[in-house]
Chain A
Amino acid sequence: MNSFDSYLHDVLMRAHQEARDDGSPTIEVQHLLLAVAAEPEPTVRPLLASAGLDQDAVRRALEQEFVQSLSAVGVASNAYDLPRPSRLPSKPAMGTSTKLALDRGFSSVTRKKDLRPAHLLLGILAAQAGIVPRALAIAGVDQEDLAARVHQALTEQE
């Protein structure tokens, strides 16, 4: 396994855990972002930190996005103080939003051996709609600017 493959493997393991903790049968892109924000890696985490993001900040923003989205249709998320459901024992499947982020990250290189951890973040940041862009906006992050800086960091690495 090269270093990108082992990074991807570790991130997916973390994302898998996030999905299970969330009671989700699928790994969605928000679980992938939480995993990327926690995975020790010398380029990706500093880039996120430069935008004020660590895993806690991402988690808070995601929770706030959930609350806000429900309240837009008049539902209070604290209407039910639900007990934590038992976690799924099986491996969550890859969700559509995760597949899309991976495809976008991978398609930014022509040769697979050129893939770097930051390409994964770039794939996540390419999202045009959905939970991730909304949570980033809530966290006060300029998604386009962050993507541009990730791109820049990748160019400098070459």
Chain B
Amino acid sequence: MTESDLPKDPADALAAVVALRRLADRLENAAVEQAMRAGWGWPKVAEALGITRQAVYKKHAQRLIAAGVKLRRREG
């Protein structure tokens, strides 16, 4: 997007940032759950997202365990 493509009103541009983050968070939650249900391990999910294992584990482990997703060992 070039600068001229920005919404005219800064309020719209800033609100779009918030909305995109929310959309990305939703997509991340769903995608990580899908991957873990498909048997991916934390290191591979972390590598795919370009973040550390610790970060992905911290963000998603509790939720997935509560949802009854069978997780591979953290190291696996």
A83 within 8 A of partner (CB): yes
A70 within 8 A of partner (CB): yes
B49 within 8 A of partner (CB): no
Question: Interface code B1-37, partner A: CB below 8 Å = 1, 0 otherwise?
Answer: 1000001000111111011101101110110010000
Main secondary structure of the interface of A (DSSP, over half): loop
- Which residues on the A side are within 8 Å of B30 (C-beta)? 82-83, 85
A42 within 8 A of partner (CB): no
- Contact of A75 with B63 at beta-carbon distance under 8 Å, contacts A69-B16, A85-B33, A86-B33 already known: no
A60 within 8 A of partner (CB): no
A18 within 8 A of partner (CB): no
B46 within 8 A of partner (CB): no
B71 within 8 A of partner (CB): no
Interface centre among A70, A73, A134 (most CB of B within 10 A): A73
> Which of A75, A77, A130 makes the CB contact (< 8 A) with B18?
A130
B67 within 8 A of partner (CB): yes
- Which residues on the A side are within 8 Å of B62 (C-beta)? 88-90
Check B23–A70 contact: CB distance below 8 A: yes
B69 within 8 A of partner (CB): yes
Residue of A whose beta carbon sits closest to that of B15: A69
B45 within 8 A of partner (CB): no
- Contact of A89 with B11 at beta-carbon distance under 8 Å, contacts A70-B19, A131-B18 already known: no
- Which residues on the B side are within 8 Å of A85 (C-beta)? 26, 29-30, 33, 63
